[in-house]
Structure 1
Amino acid sequence: MQLSTCTNEFKLNHGEDLNRYGELYVQKYPRLKTKVVDGSSLAVAAVLNSIPKAATQVLHRGNISKVASAVVLNLCQRGIQVAVPSEDDYKKLKKSFGIRSDRNNLILSKSYSIKTWLVGDGLKEEDQKKAAEGTLFIPFSQFPPKKLRRDCFYHSIPAMAAPASLENVDSCENWLPRRVMSAWRVAGIVHSLEGWDEHECGYTMSDIDKVWQASIKHGFKPLAVATHSKF
Structure 2
Amino acid sequence: GEELNRYGEVYVKKHPQLKVKLVDGSSLAVAVLLNSIPKGTTQVLLRGNLTKVAFAVTFALCQKGIQVIVLREDEYQKLDKSFGTKSEDNFSKSYSSCKVWLVGDDITEEEQRKATEGTLFIPFSQFPPKKLRKDCFYHTTPAMQTPMALENVDSCENWLPRRVMSVWRIAGILHALEGWEEHECGYTMCNIDKVWEACLKHGFQPLRVPIQSKS
Name 2:13's counterpart in structure 1.
27
Helix, strand or coil at the partner of 1:58: strand
Deviation string for 1:178-230 (max 9, x for gaps)?
Answer: 000001111110000000001000011110110010000000000110118xx
User: Post-superposition shift, 1:105?
Assistant: 4.5
Give, in whole Å, the separation in 2 of the partners of 1:171 and 1:78. Answer: 34
Consecutive unaligned residues in structure 2, runs of 5 or more: none
Name 2:130's counterpart in structure 1.
146
Give, in whole Å, the separation in 1 of the partners of 2:154 and 2:97. Answer: 38
User: Post-superposition shift, 1:113?
Assistant: 3.1
What letter corresponds to residue 53 of structure 1 in structure 2? K
Question: Structure 2 residue aligned with 1:117, among 84, 101, 117?
Answer: 101
Judging changes above 3 Å, is the alpha-carbon distance between structure 1 residues 212 and 61 closer, same or farther for their aligned structure 2 residues?
Answer: same
Give, in whole Å, the separation in 2 of the partners of 1:106 and 1:166. Answer: 42
Give, in whole Å, the separation in 2 of the partners of 1:67 and 1:110. Answer: 23
TM-score scaled by length of structure 1: 0.89
Helix, strand or coil at the partner of 1:114: coil
Poorly superposed stretches of 4+, deviation over 4 Å? none
Question: Structure 1 residue aligned with 2:60, among 74, 97, 114?
Answer: 74
Helix, strand or coil at the partner of 1:213: helix
Name 1:61's counterpart in structure 2.
47
* Matched pairs, number: 212
Name 2:188's counterpart in structure 1.
204
How large is the RMSD of aligned CA atoms in angstroms?
1.4
Name 1:10's counterpart in structure 2.
none
Consecutive unaligned residues in structure 1, runs of 5 or more: 1-14
Deviation string for 1:19-40 (max 9, x for gaps)?
Answer: 1000000000000001000000
Question: Identity, % of aligned pairs?
Answer: 68
**Structure with higher RCO (Cα < 8 A, 6+ apart):** 2
TM-score scaled by length of structure 2: 0.95
